[in-house]
Chains A and B, each alone.
Chain A
């Protein structure tokens, strides 16, 4: 409640001094500084006319006049300083955190808590977008503000969905029946549009899931894995404005009429990109959120938080702030937060997308345990199937607008087919190795505050190379790529004979261009066509729209529809191709791509892999970072391994 911060007091004192000075100025200008005492300056009086005839400007200025003016300002100045003192000593934030759980101002109090928790994210977002802007070579205000704003809105929606499923603002809480976690009978899902030929829909869904089982929903991106999952969480019907026909019963509650907030007591949801959806500032409050919004007494909340944390063996994280979590830890915290009500049904949306191999194994083990030891009905939407092979009881595949139960054999045979398909692409490409390298990286190191994240990396890039940069999470892949694209030390990155550090914006982009992991940060227009136009600006003969069509493997006329859309309405694969096209507009000698397959399904990965091969025709060499084994093997002519910021093992050349 009380604490001491000097900044507000200092500001208040400055303000008070300013106030006193201002009042003196008013007196001097508007004829109030005369009076007894010695005359300092004798300014001529100036009488105004019209409606202002009662006002005289200037006049003699006397010592006493000035003194009086300053004295008369002191009471108000004192009030300003007094409030400065209050600001410096009272922690008002602690007050509204208390009001967020209950009481008549809980909506506004909760908004304030969220605003507070948003600040660190906002600072991070500004940092990220500034990098993205430099990468795109943009300097307009819109290129900074629009991506930040889009990220903020994205956070708001993720947060809202998470709050809704955890019982925020619940009014008609219902009780769940353990025996029948999920029953879908002749259910149909769509978004209320009549044009069923072109629009997304799922027909005739008949599924019954038992307690203590683990089900994985698979299907291509855009096939509706998430929508199907959220038809069970209720977000599809009550948040994303989808339409449900037929019957969906979740632990006995009719999903069509029961919003997610009322079933929070027995349905847990771990959303995509868990970090966006954290509603509290500490791990403890995050795990206890669902209980706190129900008005459960704090000691009980504390006990339950510890119990759930112990179950997932993350007790050591409970005291931490949300920002300090790694990707794997964040996933475990989100699972713990979904478990705090002891759900009958646990829904998990793409839990593995951001994780490295070790974290994936940990999350899969936890989910398997929940299903088979704790008797929870676990449903997962995911396209990384391999990790789940040993623990999955039921596979559901979405294909052609309907849902089929498939066997593990059918799932794995699809995998084999897809790797064979990418394998053929590579043979078409014959690496040429001339004597002078296109680019040389010389003793490149990157420091984040005190940590050395990239240490003394040197290698050459010959023309025609397609290099895969591999390594686990935190090995320094992204930092290395960013340092190559935007070097901060001279003579560390040489492309086509010139030092990239010394190049101007435009020339730098012709030497090297990077598509960062968060490629959406580069987009800031409201149509795809406008993005392409901006990329073309100042470059004669460039046609980004044409490149975009190339990368997608489409003829230019076929993308007319795509060009009219909002860039953020495109699918992830299409968006990546758009950003690739934008970055290729400057015709860079060296193209860098960070994690191009993150969160993409097999079809989209094939699209991106083909696009990278075509991009290699637009640039002279490509380096891409990935932790996707199949993708790297199928595409790269050479692989570099990074471990703790160092290149390890001699680079291996694939034949």
Chain B
């Protein structure tokens, strides 16, 4: 299922629900920056609204996508791949938090399209959290962020791609595709880190430090505080490790995994 095929088949309102839902979710992630825009009386409620909004949006988007995914092949691939993703994630936690799960999300999102990639991100986090017992208020945020990583890969532009059996003839486009996906992997790794830091920042630091979130301060100061927080918390460490793992992973197993996924291509529902 290419993304082009998806858009052709889908009902327009699905797209608007997905787009609108994602925009709302992005706003909920960025709640620390919206607080000052809200009347003073309501400011206390903002984090609570953000925390309630994300799970609600997940349910809404899952309901929207569920009908579309209801074919045997999609459900089987989604289930099996999210098991692989969860296994990769749990195995990664054992070796110093090397996050290799993006490799799978990006490659599967690329081949099966944005919607599949989004659901795969959601389910991978859900399954690994259930299995490992790491369910908490952070899980919905992780689910959304991973869903976007998979969806983004599905939205990357498709070059005209010859489907012939002659592998030698398409070596250049194939390499180019791997390069684009690896580059996307780097961007996604850092953006993922920023997104996850954003909503959690006020809780992680608390009050009373110079990089604390200050509800009354001007957005510029908050932005600078957040930038420094993000830099020391994850950008220099976890996110960089994740970006490197993703690039190495996509380069090493990308061609073979893409070939495997494409050979099992999702047929249109007939």
**Interface residues of A, Cβ cutoff 8 Å to B:** 5, 7-9, 11-12, 19, 22-23, 26-27, 29-32, 48, 51-52, 54-57, 68-69, 72-73, 76, 79-80, 83-84, 86-88, 92-93, 104-108, 110-119, 122, 140-142, 145-146, 148-150, 152-153, 155-157, 159-161, 163-164, 168-169, 238-239, 241, 259, 261, 524-527, 564-566, 568-569
Find out whether the CB atom of B127 lies under 8 angstroms from the CB atom of A32.
no
Q: Which listed residue (B130, B205, B259, B270) contacts A566, Cβ 8 A?
A: B259
Find out whether the CB atom of A114 lies under 8 angstroms from the CB atom of B136.
no
B221 within 8 A of A: yes
Find out whether the CB atom of B264 lies under 8 angstroms from the CB atom of A157.
yes
B42 within 8 A of A: no
- Which residues of A sit under 8 angstroms from B82, Cβ to Cβ? 111-112, 115
B212 within 8 A of A: yes
Q: A107-B70, A141-B253 are in contact. Are A88 and B267 (CB under 8 A)?
A: no
Find out whether the CB atom of A83 lies under 8 angstroms from the CB atom of B76.
no
Q: A72-B208, A115-B83 are in contact. Are A146 and B256 (CB under 8 A)?
A: yes
Find out whether the CB atom of B72 lies under 8 angstroms from the CB atom of A168.
yes
Known A-B contacts: A107-B67, A159-B76, A163-B72. Give 11 more (CB < 8 A). A9-B133, A11-B133, A55-B228, A83-B137, A111-B69, A116-B127, A155-B80, A156-B73, A259-B270, A527-B167, A566-B263
Find out whether the CB atom of B79 lies under 8 angstroms from the CB atom of A8.
no
- Which residues of B sit under 8 angstroms from A524, Cβ to Cβ? 256
Binary interface encoding of chain B residues 123-154 relative to chain A, with 1 for a CB under 8 A from any of its CBs, else 0: 10011001111111100000000000000000
Find out whether the CB atom of A104 lies under 8 angstroms from the CB atom of B66.
yes
Q: In the assembly, what is the distance between CA of A112 and CA of B256, in Å?
A: 26
B180 within 8 A of A: no
Q: A32-B210, A108-B62 are in contact. Are A92 and B205 (CB under 8 A)?
A: no
A48: min CB distance to chain B, Å? 8
Contact size range, B:
35 or more
Find out whether the CB atom of B267 lies under 8 angstroms from the CB atom of A11.
no
* A156 to B, closest residue via Cβ: B80
Find out whether the CB atom of B79 lies under 8 angstroms from the CB atom of A118.
yes
Q: Which listed residue (B69, B136, B165, B207) contacts A107, Cβ 8 A?
A: B69
Find out whether the CB atom of B209 lies under 8 angstroms from the CB atom of A27.
yes
**Interface residues of B, Cβ cutoff 8 Å to A:** 62-63, 65-67, 69-84, 86-87, 119, 123, 126-127, 130-137, 165-168, 203-212, 220-221, 223-225, 227-228, 232, 252-253, 255-257, 259-261, 263-264, 267, 270
Find out whether the CB atom of A156 lies under 8 angstroms from the CB atom of B77.
yes
Q: In the assembly, what is the distance between CA of A326 and CA of B72, in Å?
A: 27
Find out whether the CB atom of B209 lies under 8 angstroms from the CB atom of A106.
no
Q: Which listed residue (B130, B224, B228, B264) contacts A153, Cβ 8 A?
A: B264
Interface pairs A-B: 4 shortest CB-CB: A8-B133, A114-B79, A32-B209, A160-B76
Q: In the assembly, what is the distance between CA of A195 and CA of B206, in Å?
A: 70
Find out whether the CB atom of B207 lies under 8 angstroms from the CB atom of A72.
yes
Find out whether the CB atom of B66 lies under 8 angstroms from the CB atom of A106.
yes
- Which residues of A sit under 8 angstroms from B66, Cβ to Cβ? 104-108
Find out whether the CB atom of B81 lies under 8 angstroms from the CB atom of A152.
yes
Q: A7-B133, A149-B260, A568-B263 are in contact. Are A55 and B210 (CB under 8 A)?
A: yes
Q: Which listed residue (A76, A83, A110) contacts B79, Cβ 8 A?
A: A110
Q: In the assembly, what is the distance between CA of A86 and CA of B137, in Å?
A: 12
18 A/B residue pairs, CB under 8 Å, sorted by A = A8-B132, A22-B204, A23-B206, A52-B224, A55-B224, A55-B225, A56-B210, A84-B136, A87-B133, A110-B79, A111-B79, A111-B123, A115-B83, A118-B79, A146-B253, A149-B257, A157-B264, A159-B76
Q: In the assembly, what is the distance between CA of A56 and CA of B136, in Å?
A: 33
A612: min CB distance to chain B, Å? 29
Interface of A: prevailing SS: helix
A269: min CB distance to chain B, Å? 13
Find out whether the CB atom of B167 lies under 8 angstroms from the CB atom of A525.
no
Q: In the assembly, what is the distance between CA of A518 and CA of B87, in Å?
A: 23
Find out whether the CB atom of B76 lies under 8 angstroms from the CB atom of A23.
no
Find out whether the CB atom of B133 lies under 8 angstroms from the CB atom of A122.
no
Q: A156-B77, A157-B73 are in contact. Are A80 and B136 (CB under 8 A)?
A: yes
B82: min CB distance to chain A, Å? 5
* B63 to A, closest residue via Cβ: A104
Find out whether the CB atom of A107 lies under 8 angstroms from the CB atom of B74.
yes
- Which residues of B sit under 8 angstroms from A80, Cβ to Cβ? 136
B259: min CB distance to chain A, Å? 5
- Which residues of A sit under 8 angstroms from B232, Cβ to Cβ? 29
Q: Which listed residue (B86, B206, B224) contacts A115, Cβ 8 A?
A: B86
Q: Which listed residue (B73, B126, B207, B221) contacts A160, Cβ 8 A?
A: B73
Q: In the assembly, what is the distance between CA of A456 and CA of B14, in Å?
A: 66
Find out whether the CB atom of B135 lies under 8 angstroms from the CB atom of A153.
no
Find out whether the CB atom of A163 lies under 8 angstroms from the CB atom of B76.
yes
Q: In the assembly, what is the distance between CA of A239 and CA of B267, in Å?
A: 7
- Which residues of A sit under 8 angstroms from B267, Cβ to Cβ? 239, 241
Q: A107-B70, A159-B80 are in contact. Are A23 and B75 (CB under 8 A)?
A: no
A49: min CB distance to chain B, Å? 11
Q: A145-B253, A564-B165 are in contact. Are A32 and B212 (CB under 8 A)?
A: yes
B231: min CB distance to chain A, Å? 10
Q: Which listed residue (A68, A79, A142, A261) contacts B252, Cβ 8 A?
A: A142
- Which residues of B sit under 8 angstroms from A152, Cβ to Cβ? 80-81, 83-84
Q: Which listed residue (B130, B131, B136, B165) contacts A83, Cβ 8 A?
A: B136
Q: In the assembly, what is the distance between CA of A79 and CA of B139, in Å?
A: 13
B239: min CB distance to chain A, Å? 17
Find out whether the CB atom of B75 lies under 8 angstroms from the CB atom of A111.
yes
Q: In the assembly, what is the distance between CA of A246 and CA of B80, in Å?
A: 37
Q: In the assembly, what is the distance between CA of A259 and CA of B270, in Å?
A: 8
Report which residue of A113, A148, A157 has the largest number of chain B beta carbons within 10 angstroms of its beta carbon. A157
- Which residues of A sit under 8 angstroms from B67, Cβ to Cβ? 107
- Which residues of B sit under 8 angstroms from A84, Cβ to Cβ? 133, 136
Q: Which listed residue (A30, A68, A79, A169) contacts B211, Cβ 8 A?
A: A30
A586: min CB distance to chain B, Å? 23
Find out whether the CB atom of B167 lies under 8 angstroms from the CB atom of A79.
no
